Structure 1
Amino acid sequence: MNKNNSILIVIALIILLVAGVFIIPVSPDKSTENNTITVTDLAGRTVSLKVPAERVVLGSSRDLHEFAAVEGENFSNKIVGWGPDLRKSDKDTYDKFGEKYPEIKNIPEVGYYGSQDFSIEKVVSLKPDLVIFPMFDYDRAKDDLSKFEQAGIPVVFTDFYQDTLENSTKSITLLGKLLGKEKRAKEITDFYDEQTDIVYSRLSKINKTKPKVYIESGWKGASEYGRTYSSLGWGPIVDKAGGDNIARNFTSESATVAPEFLIDADPDIIIITGSNWVTTPDSVKLGYYANQDSSKDLLKAYLQRPGWDSLQAVENQEVYSIFHTYDSRIYSFAGLQILAKWFYPEEFSDVDPEAGIKEFHARFMPIDYSGTWMLDLT
């Protein structure tokens, strides 16, 4: 063997040794070997499934807001079925999304546990690889979970309503894992925490008597009293915004008050929630297509209720309206902010709740912000 050949052999051996350093086989983590993860949902259930989920059924179509925020522009490609509740109870949102994404109007409806027409058979026929339910449907859905399991369809529960200010970020984090959008989910939860901290940091320094607050679901219109809230929905948000909820000690999570109770309580502030409820044309219209002046006229109709002229909230023009499902959406930070501003106008004079929701739309929503979402009498 000549000298040149010896040199070539040595060089070849060095190359093989170096290459070996970089091609040492590594055993894949078993939890991600087949893109399968195990998560704990908001019901405390442990669920294993392949991610990212590509064919999703939303048990409540009102969760479109959160799903679209996490998934982004291509959200409609992943929803293969959903409930009809968005179309029926928040038509502004349904129409706003439908303008830009007309294909959502062709998404098959699978019924809704709230209206007792949910169809497991329809869900199974759509061959989803994930079904998402809200926690408020858990008691109605739990007896059917074994049927989904037998069909090989994983089910998870999220919560943006029962404890919205605590569980919204947990639910967004969960959606991020399920959809393979963990980085985007983190950006959303960071923004949410920043917005809520605007309220919490200031309230911790306020030492005043809390205003007495009455909040009512406006879906029945001014002619009939709607429900108020104690331990869920708007109830906890009133408390965490620094208000004294006159319904806090109700034994029922939500209930309709007697007019006499309200007049005796004589709240400092009254809030009527609004939306585009297609079945009640005299309800306060709030949302993407709401007009401020016409919505304000609908709010003023509440002032004509018998006995309301004696209420200090009416005398002081402390009657307001807010978008109904701010209590159960990822936008709930804006509901918290505007309530705190109504309760403590001096301390929150520089806070603009609408600016926060506009920024949220610009950064995370596939649709533009528009319309009217909160009202006062001025």
Structure 2
Amino acid sequence: MNPRSRTLPVLVFWLVVALSMMPVPACASVTGDTDGDDIVSKAELTGQILDYLGGSSHTSLSDLRSASHIHAYYPRTIVDSTGDELTLYKPIKRIIAYNTDCAEVIRSLGATKDVIGIGTVVEEDDFFSEFGEVPAVGKWNSPDCERILALDPDAVIVYGKWPEKGKLDDKLKGTDIEVIRLNLYVPENMTGDVQKLGIVLERESEAEELIDFYQHYADLVGERVGALPEGERQTMYLEGYTDFKTVSAGSGGGQMCVMAGGRNIASDLVGAYPKVDTEWVIAQNPDLVIKAASSSYDNTSEPDAILNGIVSRPGWADMDAVRNDRVHILTSDIYTGPRYVVGGAYMAQWLYPDLFADINPADIHQEYLERFQGMEVPDRIFVYPASEP
């Protein structure tokens, strides 16, 4: 046997290994797929390697690198937040991030350079200053599909429910653009959805590091409150951004209440965000009242005014939470979303100050921002007042 014929398979094998480990650029179609099934088979890749080694001008080194990577790591499949199975056949390298939750997790995974378009809600948020030159392509629930098509992304990342498929998916049919629906604001599903985004972006190790962070603090709180008898658990009224609109067991806020060891007085009400009235809240007489605010503050005047407005509501002066100064404001920055463990730690400390006297939620927030967002804690007010009197 010709010695060259014996060494060629070995050369091909090591060339495949070396090429598949190299980062590859995004491509409009599946590079290396010659039979149209979107998969680069071993036979297809071997044929292209042999063509390249034989000096063929039809296969470039860049194409060969892409094909080798796709052969090694694709297809890959996730189940999105709607329950639909999504299979990817090539790397996702050009992303449109439509909401702040996915943008924040993308930053945690170190993939901000892949973002080529954003929703207006991201554009308007100072927290995402690095996207200042990135074009906006519509609202998180109302996309501008013409601008999406002009940017030619590999994927658009949106919430599971919003925007409706008729406003986005249906209008992108026939293109190579993937619509990836992940609810990166629901505490209960956060670790799973972070893992899925890590798979989509080939950032599995970064995703696991973030998941470990979440799990560590969720376990820290859970282990302490888990031993509390049901009769000793504190009751909580959690009011949303709209006055007297609360949260039930089916909401992210309700999940945070459970995480913190509290008993949500509205857990059995119908709908995720039921509307109640002041008499109902007074009758429930919660131990703790938390008001969600839409954004953090740069001074105490506004949250102080909101707090005073709550405690001065007619009939509320005799409620246990008001009499004992256990009324707090929690801003959207750490209420559900990617920083839910920070808000959950504050909730737990407000519910059980003695049990969590050694925990400083502000330190958890700082650790998160430094490790995963690459920044210091902004000089803003995220909770008010921060601790129990």
The answer to whether the superposition gives a TM-score over 0.5 is: yes
Partner of residue 154, structure 1: 178
Query: Does the CA-based 8 Å contact 1:66-1:329 persist in structure 2?
Result: no
Residue 82, structure 1, aligned to residue 118, structure 2: yes
Out of 250-259 and 191-200, give the one that drifted further.
250-259
- The two structures have a TM-score, normalised by structure 2, of 0.76
Residue number among 183, 192, 195 corresponding to 1:173 in the alignment:
195
Match of 2:128 in 1: 97
Is 2:147 aligned against 1:128? Answer: no
Distance 1:354 1:254 in 2: 28
Asked if the contact 2:253/2:335 (under 8 Å) is kept, the reply is yes
RMSD of aligned C-alpha atoms? 2.9
Distance 2:95 2:89 in 1: 12
For residue 246 of structure 2, the aligned residue among 228, 233, 250 is 228
Distance 2:133 2:109 in 1: 21
Counterpart in the other structure of 1:283: none
TM-fit CA distance, 1:213? 0.8
Aligned to 1:57: 96
In structure 1, distance between residues paired with 2:370 and 2:99: 24
Between the aligned partners of 2:187 and 2:194, the Cα distance in structure 1 is: 12
Greater Cα shift, 364-373 or 245-254: 364-373
Task: Provide Cα deviations, 1:60-81, integer angstroms capped at 9, x if missing partner.
Answer: 2443211111125xx1x32222
Counterparts of 1:34 and 1:50, CA distance in 2: 11
| 1-structure distance, mates of 2:328, 2:177 | 44
Instruction: For CA contacts below 8 A with separation 6 or more, give which structure has more relative contact order.
Output: 1
> What percentage of aligned pairs have identical amino acids?
23
Per the alignment, in what secondary structure is the counterpart of residue 81 of structure 2? coil
Residue type of the alignment partner of 2:118: W
Partner residue of 2:135? 107
Alignment partner of 1:373 out of 372, 375, 382: 382
* Matched letter for residue 273 of structure 2: S
Residue 58 of structure 2 corresponds to none
Local SS of the residue matching 1:64? helix
8 Å Cα contact 2:256-2:336 kept in structure 1 = no
Q: Is 1:252 aligned to 2:275, yes or no?
A: no
CA contact (8 A) 2:334 2:382 kept: no
Relative to structure 1, the CA distance from residue 104 to residue 35 in structure 2 (aligned partners, 3 Å threshold; closer, same or farther) is farther
Deviations 1:254-286 (A, max 9, x none): 02211111111111110011233xxxxxxxxx2
What letter matches 2:93 in structure 1? E
User: Counterparts of 1:209 and 1:86 in 2: how far apart (Å)?
Assistant: 42
Give the unaligned 5+ runs of structure 1: 1-12, 277-285
Q: Distance in 2 between matches of 1:342 and 1:358?
A: 19
Of 25, 35, 38 in structure 1, the residue corresponding to residue 76 of structure 2 is 38
Deviation, 1:23, is 3.0
C-alpha separation between the residues in 2 aligned to 1:34 and 1:311?
Answer: 63
Structure 1 position 313, deviation (Å): 0.7
Equivalent pair of 1:81/1:110 in contact (CA under 8 Å): no
> What is the CA distance between 1:127 and its match in structure 2?
0.8
User: Paired residue for 1:213, among 236, 239, 246?
Assistant: 236
1:96 shift after superposition: 3.4
- Matches of 1:307 and 1:325 in 2, distance apart? 31
Q: 1:204: how far off?
A: 1.9
Q: Flag the 1:55–1:327 CA change in 2: closer, same or farther, 3 A.
A: same
Whole-angstrom distance in 2 between the partners of 1:65 and 1:170:
16
Q: Please give the secondary structure, in 1, of the residue aligned with 2:109.
A: helix
What letter corresponds to residue 366 of structure 1 in structure 2?
G
Contact kept, 8 Å, 2:119 with 2:138, in 1: the verdict is yes
SS at match of 1:183: helix
Instruction: Call closer, same or farther: CA 1:152–1:23 in 2, change over 3 Å.
Output: closer
Aligned partners of 2:70 and 2:261: how far apart in 1? 45
**Post-superposition CA distance 1:317-369 (Å, at most 9, x none):** 01011122534322111122111111122211111211111111111103321
Equivalent residues in 2 for 1:336-351 (5 A)?
Answer: 336-351=344-359
* Equivalent residues of 1:70, 1:172 under 8 A apart: no
Match of 1:184 in 2: 206
Please list the CA deviations of residues 13-53 of structure 1 after superposition, one character each: whole Å capped at 9, or x if unmatched. Answer: 8xx89967953637888493186432222322222335542
Give the superposition deviation at 1:193. Answer: 0.6
Structure 2: any 5+ residue segments left out of the alignment? 18-39, 42-68
Distance change in 2, residues 1:81/1:372 (3 Å): same
d(CA) in 1 for partners of 2:91 and 2:294? 33
After the TM superposition, which residues 349-360 of structure 1 pair with which residues of structure 2 at under 5 Å, given as runs?
A: 349-360=357-368
* Aligned pairs for 1:167-316 within 5 A: 167-207=189-229, 208-217=231-240, 219-220=241-242, 225-230=243-248, 231-276=250-295, 286=296, 290-292=298-300, 295-316=303-324
| Cα displacement (A) at 1:148 | 2.3
Give, in whole Å, the separation in 1 of the partners of 2:215 and 2:283. Answer: 37
Aligned partner letter, 2:75: I
Shift of 1:290: 2.8
